[in-house]
Chains A and B, each alone.
Chain A
């Protein structure tokens, strides 16, 4: 099952396309990271997927073909918008009460137990909580709805390192316990590198790279060798991005699965996710996208 599937999806605000020709299929059972610079279209894509915006072009479906915004989709998806919006003047207890009454399903016992574990007092006003506690409260409210898909827009932008770790631990534990799929966005790849096993790289309103992180890392490498020969190899190899010094050149190449031999005198290195992402972001013309038909490969977490 795909938790988010889009075909030719586009969204225009006025005369500006925030998202163009977006085609992708994010499989379930993953932590999918939506990464790209500010203005790349991440929030637009998420808003379309959770039903907060309607497409200008193309189609989008969630949870295996459900229409975003339909009752089934609303029940199955929990969304935490940027900066964890909360009513600052409501106490934590009142916030729980409100959330329970605004949703068809809300597991109050789970939410209270979580908040207790986190040491967040029920009597405190939401606005008086620390940034980390506010983020945890918003996440707890979302998970209390017992979703199948958790969507987080820039969840950690304003958190300190410890709060980030705790926030992510909460989300990942929900995944381990209940098999929740997670889609989250960030403009900082490094904070997602440890959790994401599916990457969607966006820039300027379109999807540039999409795929399982392991597959992406296995199908790219960096070749380092004499700059004078770089041009010769660049013609034969699928070079995503090249960096040349006077004598030495680094070519980040896509190997397309085959383990082609390293040219004599050259060294091959595996790439890190960050290096790979930067290379693509620097070359807006380059793309690495799966074909139209994806093999179903679901990883089940217990």
Chain B
């Protein structure tokens, strides 16, 4: 994700946001209509295009690139830069709206409404510990790293399917797998 203009309209890039690196600091004065984020596509990922856009917004929220009040790139701009179907962008933006993360303002665009809270730290520690335990078991059973990733991905997909579709708020975002791979 390019950080073209990483300054939120609210003011300076604050140091407290996790991962909000200082790459864009010198541009504090250029506060154009542009969105803080820029989408990119990974054609080889196998993830549907609209879902890639949804996941990138969620990811940017988690990392602090996007904050409430920020504007998402305009549909036309996304279409022009990625050469994709406008319906795909609209679908992604609808999905984000359904999740309560964004709201459309007629004639203006789509804006961030909410933040994505990260899992609370104590929970994260516990999850991490149990995952480590599971990994040790898998290792003892003779699974190598690729085998572990394959198994995890397969189980994650089953889990996801059983929950029914992508409409779920806690659908497996990219962040969930990164911890393992």
Contacts and interface: CB of A to CB of B under 8 A. Distances in A.
Interface string B154-172: 1001000100000000000
B3 interface: no
Interface of B: 41, 43, 46, 48-49, 75-76, 79-88, 90, 154, 157, 161
A31 interface: yes
A31 B90 CA distance: 14
Contacts of B48: 217
Interface string A242-283: 000000000000000001000000011100100000000000
Given A267-B154, A272-B46, A197 B79 contact: no
Given A267-B154, A301-B90, A197 B80 contact: no
Contacts, number: 57
A302 B85 contact: no
A31 B84 CA distance: 10
A176 B154 contact: no
Contact of B85 (A177, A197, A267): A197
Interface stretch (A39-47, A88-96, A164-172): A164-172
Nearest to B90: A301
B43 A194 contact: yes
A296 interface: no
Contact of A31 (B75, B85, B154): B85
A172 B41 contact: no
A166 to B, nearest CB: 8
A299 B90 contact: yes
Contacts of B81: 169
A172 B154 contact: no
Nearest to A190: B43
A30 B41 CA distance: 21
A211 interface: no
A173 B80 contact: yes
Contacts of A302: 75, 86
A196 interface: yes
Given A172-B85, A194-B43, A301-B75, 10 more contacts: A31-B87, A169-B79, A172-B79, A172-B84, A173-B80, A176-B79, A194-B49, A194-B84, A268-B161, A301-B86
A134 to B, nearest CB: 18
A45 to B, nearest CB: 21
A301 B49 contact: no
A33 to B, nearest CB: 10
Contacts of A168: 83
A75 to B, nearest CB: 23
B86 A176 contact: yes
A132 interface: no
Contacts of A155: none
A197 B83 contact: no
Nearest to B46: A272
